[in-house]
Amino acid sequence: MDAESTRVLQYLAEVEDAAEDVLSSKQQIVDLDLKRNRNREALNALQKDTDSGKVKVCFGNMFIQFPKPKAKVMIQKDQEQLDKEINDLRKGLKAKVNHLNEIQGKPELRGCNLSPLSGDEIKAINSLLKR
């Protein structure tokens, strides 16, 4: 192979690696979101259940009986961890997509690095608008 062919193959391999990284991050987000939705359904079922006894919780391929309050706390902690992981993956996904676009010679996505206003910022804007 000549130098041009080698350079083209390296370029294609780099683009494919970056694209695979983006796709795997997206799939991880989808999988974690499904788990988060199942946890939310479980929390809703626990809140609707008026029995204050024990509940069975599935861990992997086995069920373990826990007191209802302890099960709620465990699921809520799991929800918080899932939220954190999903947010971290989404932040990283923006950088990965920008890297992929950079490799391909495309311009950076506009508006991709926006973040929502905090509660304090919204209150400040509302107070300014009321004047």
Answering whether pTM is above 0.85, one says no
| Residue 49, φ and ψ in degrees, nearest 5 | -70, 120
Give the helix/strand (H/E) hosting 35: helix 3-48
Helix 68-104 crosses helix 3-48 at what angle (to 10 degrees)? 160
Position 91 scores a pLDDT of 87
Cβ atoms of residues 94 and 112 within 8 Å: yes
Position 54 scores a pLDDT of 86
Q: What is the pLDDT of residues 68-127, one digit of tens each?
A: 889 899 999 999 999 999 999 998 998 898 888 888 888 777 666 667 788 899 999 999
Architecture in CATH for domain 3-108: Orthogonal Bundle (1.10)
Query: What percent of the chain is predicted at pLDDT more than 70?
Result: 94
Domain boundaries of the chain, sorted by first residue: 3-108
CA dihedral 97, 32, 45, 64 (to 10 degrees): -170
